[in-house]
Amino acid sequence: MEYLQGMTTVALYARVSTKDKGQSTENQLPELRRFAQAYGYTVYREYVEHESGGTGKRSEFQALFADAHLRRFDLEAIQIGSYTR
């Protein structure tokens, strides 16, 4: 991932729909943390939600975008466990 060199601060985003039975943020976050550690990234913040992704009006999702707009981190890491749509 040469193109990511120089980017050192990341935001981690984990979300599980309340309808989702097979995933949890508790099993997503360790993988995201390992990713950050493997590349030597500093984690700015972990954004965690347990609600449906039907709209963008989720509090942590909005906080993630607000912090990105303020350039509080260089890269966002999201683990996608399954596609339902």
Residue ranges of domains in the chain: 2-78
pLDDT top residue among 38 and 83: 38
Degrees, nearest 5: CA angle 16-36-85: 30
Mean pLDDT of the chain: 79
Domain covering 2-78: architecture = 3-Layer(aba) Sandwich (3.40)
Q: Which of 28-32, 43-47, 62-66 has the lowest mean pLDDT?
A: 28-32
pLDDT of residue 58: 86
pLDDT top residue among 19 and 75: 75
Per-residue tokens: 29: 């976050």
pLDDT of residue 16: 80
